[in-house]
Chain A
Amino acid sequence: MEAEARNGKRVRVLIAILGLDQHETGALAVSAMLRDAGVEVIYLGRFASPESVAAAAVEESADVVGISCHSWEYIHYLDDLLRALERGGERIPLMIGGSVISPSDKARLLEKGVSAVFGAGTSSDDIVATVRKLAGAFGS
């Protein structure tokens, strides 16, 4: 089944890893799982910055941005990234996932404005459903 955004097009998700974190398994695994669910994935990969993520998200008309993290570098980039994803009064939904994220980190991230946070052991069904929900709400 193809995942549809609110405007009827296929959902587009940009996946990236910030900074110098080189662990890619999570990013690639989530990309594959989303593709299997009919989501269009734009894989930006390693060595992304808040600016490069935001630029690519706009350029690619991404409905959702997903950041995979295996280090704590994301903490340092988070405020800049949230700001960079704001466009004309709304923000491209941001989801962050990775085994380094503890339950207390999760609460903090949601409070800051991250739309969804996935810690270790999140199921693919959860991730796909969340992406659909976020994409459906964005642009409405």
Chain B
Amino acid sequence: MPTDANAGKPYYRPEDISGIDYATDLNDPGAYPYTRGRRTQPRHDANSWILRELSGEGSPAHSNRQFRDLIARGAVGLDVIGDAPSVGCLDPDHPFARAAVGTQGVSICRLQDFIELYEGIPLDRITLSHSLPSWFTVACLYLLARNHEVAPGALRGSVIQAPLYGEDYCYAVHMPVELRLRLTLDSIEFCTREMPRFHSFVEDTYFVSDGGPDVVDEMALGFVEIRKVVRELMKRGLNIDSFGPRIAILVNCRMGFFEEIAKIRASRRIFARMMREEFGAKDSRSWSANITAHTAGSALTAQQPANNVVRGAVQAVALALAGVQAMEISTFDEAYRTPSREAHLLALRTQQIVGLETDCSKVADPLGGSYYVESLTNKVERRIADRIHEIEALGDPVDLSNRGYFRRLLEQAMITRAAEIQNGSVAKVGVNVCQIPEEEDTMLREVVETKIEPCLDHIERIREFKRTRDQARVRSTLTEIRSRAADPKESLIVPAISALAADATIGEISGAMRMAYGMRYDPLSGTPAPF
């Protein structure tokens, strides 16, 4: 167990939950404070939750084929991840991108890429989730909907927001925290008006905790960020109920089976009370958190990769019992690569077996009332609440970010997690217990070790595109972005939409924004601004 939440007792008894008042602390599923879930009635069918798998690889056209394959096999949502350059707001022709274009996600830097990515995908039926910079995703989807003659208001899906922690941990976009937060607020505000069905505010506690923070810090960091963003949006004059129903939390699910379930139940209760009591939300849809989950990639091992199939199944059962709105299983080849076709199929089938063959989702919150689970839910809730208070007492999260507080916290957590495996205090089958000699570790090897080559022809395509577009128009929209970004009162989404429509790219628009904040256009390799 990564935390001591389970420590202490050999079993639990009625007195362990004697303080619980059913009506105020639990209540029925679908009722405040939503501890037992959002829905009154579970759906014991292929739609128990949104089945999706992380996807995106190579060029947009190649990823499109991957998407069609997943949909044909039963996925009802897509979760698109950009490659390393795209998530870092860099174009494929950036000097650092050459080795990474399309290898860990889809290469996507312009409107045309979005058009190719979603070619033939029914935008009003499939939910589109994105691990990509939010302002870019929102602006491109808005234009794409128009291109497909779908009203932007009909688009469903989501995009992750990572304003406070992304730079310190896995999603650096080489921008200051003030700009990152502004882009988060701008994109949510824009969607509240123009794309009201789209979840523009996914608090992603998955990425911030995978391989690092435990369940308590995962959720405390998540809530600190949610609370900061909510307060800032309210300062802008937005009514909490205009965006509250579209907040989702994308959580991690490690191997601490009951602890993860307790975490999800506790988080729903914290969220409901926070939204109603503290922020004054009146609409009941603002009180019940949308919880989606990824199973922990860091729980998976490079050794004996077939074991990861089992880990994914155990985690999927935990998530089904906790009751989540969408699920995604990190695939068995995770330690080596983004999902192969074989791994995608197994992950989808795992979800389908749990959803359709077992009775895990036959009733809502089947573990509700368990002495252990309720006691653990209380304990985890208390610890998360204490930790939120502790962090917020240290100062404004933007200042904490600038002072390196989050970076130090995340660094220390990564070191601690790795040490637990090294010193054997946390058992990891195939790694520190139950090992087999390397030469016997052959099952599924050929799949996991197949490498994805960088998509060099896509780099050439983008170079050619940049050579042949209307340069004057690109320069003028980038100049406009820089001047709008220099005025903190301006929203950046509409200018970004104009720039993308004028064939400017994610790297160029980001560079123009950076310059307005006193940074270099290209902080990594010093390429001069093209305008």
Chain A residues proximal to chain B, CB less than 8 Å:
18-26, 28-29, 32-33, 46-47, 49, 71-73, 75-77, 99-100, 102-104, 119-121, 123-124
Q: When A76-B454, A121-B435 are in contact, do A29 and B422 touch as well, CB less than 8 Å?
A: yes
Q: Does B134 contact A (CB under 8 A)?
A: no
A71 touches B335 (CB 8 A): no
Contacts of B302 in A (CB 8 A): 99-100, 119-121
Contacts of A123 in B (CB 8 A): 422
Complex Cα–Cα for A61 and B415 (A): 25
CB within 8 Å of A: which B275-320 residues: 298, 301-303
Complex Cα–Cα for A49 and B449 (A): 25
A46 touches B100 (CB 8 A): no
Closest to A35 in B: B415
Contacts of B427 in A (CB 8 A): none
13 contacts between A and B (CB under 8 A): A20-B97, A22-B84, A22-B169, A28-B415, A29-B418, A47-B96, A47-B172, A71-B100, A71-B104, A72-B103, A73-B100, A99-B302, A124-B422
A25 touches B418 (CB 8 A): yes
Q: How far is the CB of A56 from chain B (nearest CB, A)?
A: 15
**Chain B interface SS verdict (over half):** loop
Contacts of B431 in A (CB 8 A): 120-121
Complex Cα–Cα for A124 and B104 (A): 28
Contacts of A124 in B (CB 8 A): 422
Q: How far is the CB of A86 from chain B (nearest CB, A)?
A: 21
Contact of A49 among B87, B96, B211 (CB under 8 A): B96
CB within 8 Å of A: which B448-466 residues: 449, 451-452, 454
Q: Does B524 contact A (CB under 8 A)?
A: yes
Complex Cα–Cα for A36 and B489 (A): 49
Q: How far is the CB of B97 from chain A (nearest CB, A)?
A: 7
Q: How far is the CB of A18 from chain B (nearest CB, A)?
A: 8
Q: When A20-B84, A71-B84, A120-B303 are in contact, do A32 and B415 touch as well, CB less than 8 Å?
A: yes
Q: When A77-B99, A121-B302 are in contact, do A99 and B84 touch as well, CB less than 8 Å?
A: no
Q: How far is the CB of B174 from chain A (nearest CB, A)?
A: 8
Contacts of A46 in B (CB 8 A): 172
A120 touches B96 (CB 8 A): no
Q: Other CB < 8 Å A-B pairs besides A26-B418, A76-B454, 14 of them?
A: A19-B99, A20-B88, A20-B96, A20-B99, A22-B87, A22-B170, A24-B169, A32-B415, A32-B419, A71-B100, A73-B103, A99-B302, A120-B301, A121-B435
Contacts of B383 in A (CB 8 A): none
CB within 8 Å of A: which B408-431 residues: 411, 414-415, 417-419, 422, 431
Give the residue among B96, B97, B337, B452 with the most A Cβ atoms within 10 A.
B96
Closest to A99 in B: B302
Complex Cα–Cα for A19 and B85 (A): 10
B419 touches A29 (CB 8 A): yes
Complex Cα–Cα for A19 and B422 (A): 27
Complex Cα–Cα for A102 and B431 (A): 15
Q: When A22-B170, A28-B418 are in contact, do A104 and B449 touch as well, CB less than 8 Å?
A: yes
B449 touches A102 (CB 8 A): yes
Complex Cα–Cα for A103 and B437 (A): 12
Closest to B432 in A: A121
Q: Does B438 contact A (CB under 8 A)?
A: yes
Contacts of A22 in B (CB 8 A): 84, 87-88, 169-172
A76 touches B422 (CB 8 A): no
Q: Does B65 contact A (CB under 8 A)?
A: no
Q: When A21-B100, A23-B170 are in contact, do A121 and B303 touch as well, CB less than 8 Å?
A: yes
Contact of B438 among A19, A33, A103 (CB under 8 A): A103
Complex Cα–Cα for A71 and B103 (A): 8
Complex Cα–Cα for A115 and B337 (A): 25
Contacts of B228 in A (CB 8 A): none
Complex Cα–Cα for A82 and B171 (A): 28
B84 touches A25 (CB 8 A): no
Complex Cα–Cα for A46 and B167 (A): 11
Complex Cα–Cα for A102 and B471 (A): 46
Give the residue among A20, A103, A121 with the most B Cβ atoms within 10 A.
A20
Q: Does B336 contact A (CB under 8 A)?
A: yes
Complex Cα–Cα for A72 and B337 (A): 9
B336 touches A99 (CB 8 A): yes
Contacts of A19 in B (CB 8 A): 84, 96, 99-100
Q: Does B157 contact A (CB under 8 A)?
A: no
